[in-house]
Amino acid sequence: MRIGGMLAWQVAVLGLLAATPARADDMEKAKTIAASICVACHGVDGNSVIPNFPKLAGHHPDYIVRQLKEFIAGRRKSDIMVPIVTMVDPNDFKALGDYYGAQKPTPGTVTDAKAAERGKKLYMDGDEDRGVPACSGCHKDDASGNKRFPRLAGQHKEYLITEMNNFKTGVRNSETGRVMREVAKRMSDEEIGAVAEFLTGM
Amino acid sequence: MKTLLKGLLVLWSGCIFAQSPAPAGGENDPVWNEIKGEKLLTLRLKGDITRGAEAFEICQGCHMGGAKGSVSGSYPRLAGQHATVLIEQIVDIRSGKRSNPKMKAFAHETVISPQEIADIAAYLEALPIPPNLGKGPGTLLTRGKELYSRDCATCHGEKGQGNAAKFYPLVAGQHYKYLLREAHLIRDGERGNANPDMIKAIKPYTNEDLEAVADYISELPAP
């Protein structure tokens, strides 16, 4: 019994020793990729300072991996992003997702408080008469997202608006984006702007 | 003859989960809720509550957390509804048989698979039913009870509990405005997948009759 217990401990400790460096290696490698390939647009810590490019810090790793695959599959289109994604080994996608997911996200700045207030209402309650679902249903009240739905809190409003329009026009064509394409169609430009204003300040 | 038909119907309902049902009715007698194709496939799948909770996330923007729906009547409360009923309705909305333009796009096959429908149905059926939130004005309860006992209780049950095997929904404590909206659609032949027996039963109802029954049902406590 005692020997068995000791053995279990040894196995556990060995397991930890074996697992930890490998993971740290992955993180180091991901950081190197981030610092050499992604940094110009997304920042090394995933907090892009350029409004056209999304912040990645704090996204669920699985969500990041899925989007990278969507670019490869041609269901997300970007003249800038696609050539860059193809420079990355798909085997490193998961490490990149883990790396950016572990970074601390920074909030953006609200410049139109009234619009943000309108946006908050729509985000939390939707619009029943027109069948606009509450965004919070999927993206959560704090807009932190999860593995299926992206984090939106603190995201650049310019980027959010661009992507909503890409959903609206069908440019963003992932199968799982069908819900968003329908939601975007039901929202006016003014409403999309208001929700984006709210989210950027979260 | 009528008894024989009824007997056959009961027998047929009992067979749904084991076998494909034998088609019934001739050209002039369309079968309500015929169990075939995707509906049959989905009913045969085993729903998983944990997976269902995750799949239901995309429904929460409208049906709300806990599937409590909306007092405004735009979205029904789904918590505690029979899984069979939920499967029937989702499949009918997706195929366009039940007219529901708001939900149709969100019920598309690329949004929820048959397995996810089965999972969501299992999850919702097991959800605790929140207290009645969307009660009617409470002014027509006597009339409502009279009509309900006469015309509705045979299928939906004395307590509004419905009947899972026969695809009759649980209605007790549903939001008043939702009940009223659907009652109008059914009476006026606009719902698309309504049971012909129900259309016949409420065809003579005035708007006030519909209000009275909805008022009564919305007050019924969840079973």
| The token pair that represents B81 in the structure block | 């509804």
pLDDT(A12) > 80: no
Distance from CA of B159 to the nearest CA of A (A): 30
Whether residues B83 and B160 fall in one domain: no
Contact with chain B for residue A126, Cβ under 8 A: yes
> Which residue in A182, A185, A187 has the most chain B C-beta atoms within 10 A of its own C-beta, making it the best mutation to test that interface?
A182
Nearest alpha carbon to residue B213 among B160, B149, B148? B148
Q: Is residue B26 part of a domain?
A: no
pLDDT(A13) > 70: no
Whether residues B114 and B148 fall in one domain: no
* Chain B partners within 8 Å of A137 (Cβ): 57-62, 64-65
User: Nearest residue of B to residue A176 by CA position?
Assistant: B111
Grade residue A10 by pLDDT with cuts at 50, 70 and 90: low
* A102 CB-near residues (< 8 Å, 6+ apart): A27
pLDDT value at position B10? 45
Whether residues B160 and B92 fall in one domain: no
**Every domain range in chain A assigned CATH 1.10.760.10:** 25-101, 113-200
Q: Do A131 and B64 touch (CB under 8 A)?
A: no
Grade residue B24 by pLDDT with cuts at 50, 70 and 90: very low
Contact with chain B for residue A134, Cβ under 8 A: yes
State the Cα–Cα distance between residues A99 and B58, nearest whole angstrom.
27
Beta bridge partners of A127: A132
- A113-200 is a CATH 1.10.760.10 domain: yes
pLDDT value at position B23? 40
pLDDT value at position A20? 47
Whether residues B200 and B145 fall in one domain: yes
CATH code for the domain in which residue B186 is found? 1.10.760.10
> pLDDT tens-digit profile of A79-111?
999 999 999 999 999 999 999 999 999 999 999
Q: What is the pTM of this model?
A: 0.84
Contact with chain B for residue A149, Cβ under 8 A: yes
Of B70, B103, B126, the residue that ends a domain is B126
Of B74, B96, B126, the residue that ends a domain is B126
Contact with chain A for residue B72, Cβ under 8 A: yes
Q: Whole domain around residue B83: which residue ranges?
A: 35-126
Distance from CA of A179 to the nearest CA of B (A): 6
Contact with chain B for residue A148, Cβ under 8 A: yes
pLDDT value at position B222? 87
pLDDT(A7) > 80: no
User: Of chain A residues 28-87, which have a CB less than 8 A from chain B?
Assistant: none
pLDDT(A135) > 50: yes
In CATH, which superfamily holds the domain spanning A25-101? Cytochrome c-like domain (1.10.760.10)
Higher pLDDT: A9 or B72? It is B72
pLDDT value at position A25? 86
pLDDT(B20) > 70: no
Q: Least CB-CB distance to B61: which of A137, A176, A178?
A: A137
Give percent of chain B above pLDDT 70: 87
> pLDDT tens-digit profile of A149-197?
999 999 999 999 999 999 999 999 887 788 999 999 999 999 999 999 9
pLDDT(A115) > 50: yes
* Chain B partners within 8 Å of A179 (Cβ): 58, 105-106, 111
* Burial class of residue A51 (count of CB atoms within 10 Å of its CB; 0-12, 13-18, 19+): middle
Q: Least CB-CB distance to B105: which of A137, A138, A182?
A: A182
Q: Is residue B133 part of a domain?
A: no
Whether residues B116 and B169 fall in one domain: no
Q: Is residue B94 part of a domain?
A: yes
> pLDDT tens-digit profile of B43-60?
999 999 999 999 999 999
DSSP B48-110: -HHHHHHHGGGGHHHH-GGG---TTSSS---TT--HHHHHHHHHHHHHTSS--HHHHGGG-TT
